[in-house]
Amino acid sequence: MSKCFYIGIGGTGSKCVDNYVYSCAAGLGPENLWLGMVDQDEGNGNVERSSINIEQYQKVRKILRTPGLSDINSKTNLFKTNITTFPEHSNWPPLKSSGTTKPTLKNIFKFNALKDEIQDIMSSLYHSEEELTLELDEGFRGRPSIGSAAILSRIHENEPFWQNIFNAIDAAQQGHIVKIFLVSSIFGGTGASGFPSIARLLRRILELRGIKDNVYIGGALLLPYFSFPKPPEDEKGIVAYSDSFLEQTRGALDYYGRLFDEKNYQKTFDQLYVVGWDPLIQLKTFAKGGPNQDNPPLLPEMFASLAASKFFSDDVIEDGIYHIAREDEKSFNWQDFPNINNKSNNYVKESIAQFTRTAIAFKEIYFPFLTDKWTKVKNESWIRKTILKQGIDLNEENNKLNLTTILRYFESY
């Protein structure tokens, strides 16, 4: 059994983590999974929502998959994935604030203590007033060059967030298969900087430890797929502008092209999935970061989840770059979803449909009759066989709490 790791980097990455948790609930994930996020903006609404989703998933899975506590059919894939992440440690912010001092590139690298020639180099690479002194507590504001320097300066083996991955890499030397999947946008700050930086660092660690087999690195790279209004006048400066997404993407793709030029560069990814959307999906609001950055779930993020599921489930990892497409330029249908598990893409449709029907049936039918209306149906076969014959007391407070926990998860889905 493979050791599987899914890491969402930046705001888009954390949204994809949220989507992947629901994919696991629908039965599309691996047997065991560790997932986490890398986002400097700890207060980001997308990060918070994903952390809550991880915690709620684990609670529901415990209720439904604990032997003796539930009679869920062992043949169903619902909530099959054991997510081992500790929700309180699900996000790693590369830079920690020190008291009232907010992190900047200047204080990260102790700029004033550097030799004059090093200061000159940094000043030539980064704008001295805007970029070197930019407060980074809410992310890298669409500036990958800032994010790369910050992230690479802070990844260490003794960081609890990274220990799981480094320990798994060591286990590969004993024959264990390790699969690491990264996902981010190509047009942001944290994601665009962290995606290649983290992948190359992992490759470097494998090289230093002499590990040539059993560790595979895959990733989903999201090209521009949404846009948002221009920031208000008082927010202008170093913030993200969706108008610049395509220009940033063009330059970044040239860089990624060189990463896959194995004749002149070290191999970085075993598999890369490229996801975009045309025309861009229009969002209604702008937020530079913090709790207000809580964007709605969007369909392209589902493709990132299915890419990860395929990567985790494939017995043989074939090198390559894959991109999404649709049969009809003017429409989208189930057949446009990719295959996973070497099955037809009906498997994806059936899994999502099964989970959706379960969620709706529980919310609209079973929950009301398992709580305040159960006496009205106590003679029906479904409740007699599954509940009353087992001696379950529906008035017991813990049972009520469990039913409400399941309801809340289905409502969030």
Q: Which residue has the higher pLDDT, 314 or 43?
A: 314
pLDDT digits (tens, 9 = 90+) for 93-122: 877 655 556 777 777 677 788 888 888 887
204: pLDDT strictly greater than 90: no
What is the sign of the dihedral through the CA atoms of 156, 159, 161 and 164? Answer: positive
- Give, in order, the Cα–Cα distances in Å from 285 to each of 17, 136, 288, 394: 22, 22, 10, 44
Q: Give the angle subtended at the CA of 150 by the CAs of 140 and 127, to the nearest 5°.
A: 65
* pLDDT on residue 359: 97
Q: 168-172: long-range contacts at Cβ-Cβ below 8 A with a sequence spacing of 24 or more?
A: 168/3, 168/5, 169/202, 169/205, 169/206, 169/209, 169/211, 169/215, 170/209, 171/3, 172/211, 172/213, 172/214, 172/215
Write the pLDDT tens digit of every residue in 376-406.
888 888 888 888 888 888 889 999 999 999 9
pLDDT band at residue 139 under the 50/70/90 scheme: low
- Report whether pLDDT(131) > 80: no
> Which of the two residues, 344 and 176, has the higher pLDDT score?
176
Higher pLDDT, 70 or 21: 21
Q: Could you tell me which of 286, 300, 192, 295 has the C-alpha nearest to residue 241? A: 286
- What is the reported pLDDT for 239? 45
pLDDT at 53 over 50: yes
What share of the chain in percent tops pLDDT 90?
37
**Greater confidence, 69 or 65?**
65
Of 31-40, 140-149, 280-289, 376-385, highest mean pLDDT: 31-40
Of 157 and 75, the structure prediction assigns the larger pLDDT to 75
Range of weakest confidence among 56-65, 102-111, 202-211: 102-111
Average pLDDT score over residue span 272-299? 76
pLDDT of residue 4: 97
Q: Which of 42-56, 213-227, 251-265, 332-346 has the lowest mean pLDDT?
A: 251-265
What gap in Å lies between CA 327 and CA 95, rounded to an integer? 44
Q: Is the pLDDT of residue 128 over 70?
A: no
| Average pLDDT of the residues of the chain | 83
**The tokens of 283 are what?**
């969002």
Those residues whose C-beta lies under 8 Å from the C-beta of residue 216, and which sit 6 or more positions away, are 177, 178, 179, 180, 270, 271, 311, 317
State which of 111-125, 235-249, 367-381, 398-412 shows the largest mean pLDDT: 398-412
Q: Higher pLDDT residue, 294 or 197? A: 197
Mean local confidence (pLDDT), 210-235: 83
- In the predicted model, is pLDDT for residue 235 greater than 50? yes
